[in-house]
Chains A and B, each alone.
Chain A
Amino acid sequence: MAAANKKNPKLAVYKFSSCDGCQLSLLDLEDELLDLLGAVNISYFLEARRHVEPGPYDIGLVEGSISTQDEAERIVEVRRECRHLITIGACATSGGIQALKNWADVEQFKRTVYAHPEFIETLDTASPIAAHVLVDFELRGCPVNKYQIVEVLTALIVGRRPQIPTYSVCVECKRAGYVCVLVSGGLPCLGPVTQAGCGALCPAYGRGCYSCFGPCDSANPRALCGHFEQHGTRRGDLVRMLRSFNGYLEPFKQTGDEYESSLNTKQDLGVRD
């Protein structure tokens, strides 16, 4: 690790309920890592180094959702010791995949999964960091795009606005010249309602977007899902599509809930006899 430079901002990286993939993206910055180490002091980043410098910190990156009482208390402390707080990844910005429990019976999950459910302390919901404390900037994605991390850190250090688009994945898809898998292949692609940032990774490989970056600005999932429904996608599948990574974010949540409450037949649910 480069020697600490007193003038550089102090960076802290925190983990809450998550898979570590977003922090790993930071370590995966092979070409930029040395530049990054020259520009910030890594003061707290347990996945990268055991050495910990005491707070307060200039920049805090937070991965993961709040899904336990302990986390709900810890995030308040984290907010107190960071001047700028940036959440990274779907878990931190929407609750993530674990937010699927928000629609389920958590007690039943505990009994089904764990031999000793009485040892498990968990909240009934997994929620985004911004539902608990003020967040200065959010980076979406499961996982985040590592270049967006560099961009937001660079912007913060230089003192300019980060160039993080909030328009749809379709914009990146068309700029790259990919052939639309929805129009030419009839795949239910969520790109038109999903925030850009991945570079249209899934369409690049001939697959529909799964919306791991969550809703874009002005997203209209109702109209898109209505179109999919007309073309044969079952309502139960639409609910599952909307709820995979970012289902707890609006307007995905409302659309998913509306579809769920309209499910009544086995066919709607996609149950195969």
Chain B
Amino acid sequence: MRRDGMFAVAKDQLDPLICELAHDGYTVIGPTIRDGAITYDEITSAAMLPRGWTQETDGGHYRLKRRTDDACFGFVVGPHSLKRYLFPSRLKLFSVTRDGQGGFSPDVEPPPAPKYAFVGVRSCDLAAVAVQDMVFNSEMPDPYYRQVREQMFVVAVNCAEPGGTCFCSSMDTGPRCSAGYDLAITELSTSFAMEVGSERGQAMLERVRHEEADANARHLVDLMMSTAAKHNMGRSLDTADLPEILMSNLEHRQWDQAGNRCLACANCTLVCPTCFCNNIYDRTDLSGDHADRYRNWGSCFALEFTYHTGGYIRSSRRARYRQWLTHKLASWHGQFGTSGCVGCGRCITWCPVGIDITVEATAIADDVRESLKRHGSGTKTEEADV
């Protein structure tokens, strides 16, 4: 039976937990330091966690920093998200070989889906998985995604110290995990407060030393989470009326400015944990007897992505930036009934020139709201550009 409530788990139980997960055949993926950032990689012990490290983030800026304490999870999201495991950047879909009798023999066996246990997953990333579920795991499920998704185990972490580009509280996706985890950790100074989200999580908890948490711990966690949400977010975004405002101001001058600064490099879409666009392409070998079909990460910022019969439909950087931002914050609602942005801040941090989705959207929204107040008219009308 799954037990509600909160449990106190000593910090030295993290290593046994990782071992137990590995023992059950999971490939354990967790935060670890690589090449100057906290990335997701395979971990085999708690010693591989970036204990005592944190990061400083801002638009186009990320630096690792030493903490003054030795917290196990005293950092937030890095460049990677669960996306690269559920929706790999390159996946072979099938292959065909000529059978020598004028036909082809297909090989459609999907690649084996690893059994992952993710440790240290943040609330925004769990929300992002729920968003990607609507794409890859709904009416027409992607077999690989579905299998990884069904067999994955999640040890989530609540964020007590949001980062410089985080704005999950604006998007209602954090900083406290509300669903999608098996176990969720809030790190206190000397122990973990652990919550159980599933039967599997319960069974795993039973395999490490734990005890019922006292009322003080529960209050403390509540307080830490509400403080983080209210006062510690690096960014914020007022989403009221935002979809309507954006979609009815597609010629706002702010798009020109963003288009001038934007490099169309695609980094924002590739680091975004909800962006799902992909390219399907075929490879044939020199003999012409064998062909493979692949799927890799695509991006609406690539010119080729906008190619329709007859030409490129979004040839300017401005058009592509606008397409991306309005999809994230506006048209996603019509398509999926939710925002396409979970407020993780990655697109801000990892944009080479620091273009900030919250700043761009707010500049348009504030301007429109202001003129609404002054003129009381619905939308700002401007000369359509060509």
Contact = CB atoms under 8 A, between A and B. Distances in A.
B53 to A, nearest CB: 13
A176 B34 CA distance: 14
Interface string B291-305: 000001101011110
A157 B288 contact: yes
B304 A168 contact: no
Interface stretch (B110-118, B199-207, B259-267, B334-342): B259-267
Contacts of B105: none
A174 B60 CA distance: 15
Contact of B270 (A160, A174, A184, A223): A174
B63 to A, nearest CB: 7
Interface stretch (A18-26, A68-76, A187-195, A257-265): A187-195
B46 interface: no
A179 B265 contact: no
A165 interface: yes
B84 A170 contact: no
Contacts of A219: 263-264
B234 interface: no
Given A167-B304, A183-B350, A220-B317, A158 B264 contact: no
A36 interface: yes
Interface string A143-157: 000000011011101
A171 B349 contact: no
B37 interface: yes
Given A183-B61, A218-B303, A220-B317, A167 B266 contact: yes
A163 B302 contact: no
A42 B260 CA distance: 48
B353 A177 contact: no
Interface SS of chain A: helix, strand, loop or mixed?
Answer: helix
B263 A153 contact: no
Contact of B304 (A158, A160, A165, A174): A165
A183 B60 contact: yes
Q: How large is the interface on B (under 10, 10 to 19, 20 to 34, 35 or more residues)?
A: 35 or more
A34 to B, nearest CB: 10
Interface stretch (B14-22, B177-185, B218-226, B277-285): B277-285
A232 to B, nearest CB: 14
A30 interface: no
B56 to A, nearest CB: 11
A175 B284 contact: no
Given A38-B286, A218-B317, A167 B352 contact: no
A178 interface: yes
Nearest to B260: A223
A167 to B, nearest CB: 4
B285 A35 contact: yes
Nearest to A37: B286
A192 B265 contact: yes
Contacts of A55: none
Which of B90, B262, B286 counts the most chain A CB atoms within 10 A? B286
A210 to B, nearest CB: 16
A227 B261 CA distance: 9
A180 interface: yes
Contacts of A184: 35-37, 62-64, 79
A166 interface: yes
Contacts of B352: 170, 180, 182-183, 189, 191-192, 224, 227
A258 to B, nearest CB: 15
Given A166-B304, A167-B266, A167-B302, A175 B297 contact: yes
Given A177-B80, A179-B36, A189-B352, A171 B317 contact: no
B303 A217 contact: yes
A177 B266 contact: no
Interface string A129-148: 00000000000000000000
Nearest to A191: B265
Given A167-B303, A170-B352, A177-B39, 5 more contacts: A150-B286, A160-B282, A175-B90, A184-B37, A217-B303
Report the 5 A-B pairs with minimum CB-CB distance, sorted nearest first.
A192-B265, A174-B270, A175-B89, A167-B302, A179-B35
